[in-house]
Amino acid sequence: MFANIEEFSYNIIELAYLEDSYMKNGDNKSIALKAYAKINLALDVIGVLENGYHEVSMIMQSVDMYDKVNLYVNNSGKITVKTNLSFLPVGPDNLVYKAAALLFDEFDIKAGLAIDLYKYIPVAAGMAGGSTDAAAVLKGVNELFSLGLSMEELMERGARIGADIPYCIMGGTALAEGIGEKLTRISPCPDCYFVVGKPGISVSTKYVYDNLVLDENTKHPDVKGMIKAIEEKNIDLICSGLSNVLEDVTVKAHPVIHEIKHRMMEAGAGGALMSGSGPTVFGIFTERDKAEKCAEILREEGLTKNTYVTTPVNCAQ
Ligand code: ATP
């Protein structure tokens, strides 16, 4: 039933934009959503807030890799979750459950909801997989039960579950500040190809933030410069501005990340960077052939376990 993940990701490259991403059936009792992954074109940590959260400044970009989230209303009075990945929780620890429960509680919904979650986005990879699933459920429940919440109202509720969820509701290209929940839409990323490679290791986001040392030697990304490069649709500037303050921490623990970046550059990437807290790395290409060749090399050499060629996904401005 579950297609080879790499085959699947090749097949999705040409598919629709975010605003086309869900279809309702006639009786309004089920909905199928695409939950898109993100990468970070720049990621800066500015400091630590009094509550212990990190203050960030990040450029977020949706990519055409997605989980499928199907929601079915029933009269069980319960929220149930099924997923193709046996190691994921299916109870209240799954972010899709949390998202549904939040709206069910607030709106005193007595019906039941069956959530079928088909994971294709690598887990614990720095691609906001769980957050985007939760975002899809918030949008889906809003729609199925005609709750009438605006995007801003959904984003405010999403932030209660996870800092990346408001961005996942919005999608496209955005500047995320605060703890990630203060969002500003920016110009869409110009057309290009991303080779996305995840080595066969998992990285704990907490470990990376706990081991981040911010001092005078820290190389902070030029986030404003990145926004300008995107506005100007200047791929060369985007590539040269790629920067992630968390990269050094994760690379120290997992040098394979550096190797993957190096191999992507050798294969013709204009630039390469770790996404989020890692370990996923992406390389930017302007030619699809070169991107596919690069993906082939990574697979053949076994540097990455999951390897995809994908494109930016933009949404209505
Ligand atoms: P981010 O980029 O926001 O740091 P991530 O890609 O590093 O996210 P996720 O894939 O969202 O990490 O998963 C992190 C953890 O969250 C997993 O170890 C998993 O047990 C838990 N989790 C809960 N719900 C989900 C979900 N729907 N999909 C994936 N992981 C989930």
Mean pLDDT of 205-220: 91
Q: Token digits for 107?
A: 């709106």
- Taking the C-alpha atoms of residue 118 and residue 120, their distance in angstroms, rounded to an integer, is 6
The closest of 39, 38, 41 to 244, measured between CA atoms, is 41
Mean pLDDT of 14-32: 51
Mean pLDDT of 62-66: 97
pLDDT at 52: 86
pLDDT at 232 over 80: yes
Among protein residues, the one with the nearest Cα to ligand 1's atom 17 is: 124
**Which pLDDT band holds residue 217 (cuts at 50, 70, 90)?**
confident
CA of 104 to the centre of ligand 1 (A): 22
Q: Token digits for 97?
A: 């459950």
Question: What atom in ligand 1 is closest to the CA of residue 123?
Answer: 10
3-class SS of residue 118: strand
The closest of 311, 307, 312, 313 to 122, measured between CA atoms, is 307
- Taking the C-alpha atoms of residue 164 and residue 167, their distance in angstroms, rounded to an integer, is 6
**Which pLDDT band holds residue 317 (cuts at 50, 70, 90)?**
very low
CB-CB contact of 237 with 190 (8 Å)? no
Catalytic, out of 64, 67, 133, 164: 164
pTM: 0.90
pLDDT at 169: 97
pLDDT at 43 over 80: yes
- Taking the C-alpha atoms of residue 283 and residue 94, their distance in angstroms, rounded to an integer, is 30
Question: What atom in ligand 1 is closest to the CA of residue 125?
Answer: 6
pLDDT at 24 over 80: no
Among protein residues, the one with the nearest Cα to ligand 1's atom 4 is: 126
pLDDT at 202: 87
CA of 267 to the centre of ligand 1 (A): 30
CA of 41 to the centre of ligand 1 (A): 20
pLDDT at 14: 27
Q: Token digits for 36?
A: 């898109």
| Mean pLDDT, rounded, of the chain | 90
Q: Token digits for 129?
A: 């997989």
pLDDT at 295: 98
% of the chain with per-residue pLDDT over 90: 85
pLDDT at 3: 32
pLDDT in tens, 251-266: 999 999 999 999 999 9
The closest of 169, 172, 173 to 153, measured between CA atoms, is 169
CA of 121 to the centre of ligand 1 (A): 10
Q: Is 34 a catalytic residue?
A: no
Mean pLDDT of 185-191: 96
Is 276's C-beta closer than 6 angstroms to any atom of ligand 1?
yes
pLDDT at 112 over 80: yes
pLDDT at 314: 87
pLDDT at 20 over 80: no
**Which pLDDT band holds residue 76 (cuts at 50, 70, 90)?**
very high
Mean pLDDT of 24-30: 61
Q: Is 164 a catalytic residue?
A: yes
Is the peptide bond preceding residue 279 cis, with omega within 30 degrees of 0? yes
Helix-, strand-, coil-residue percentages of the chain, each rounded to 5: 35, 25, 40
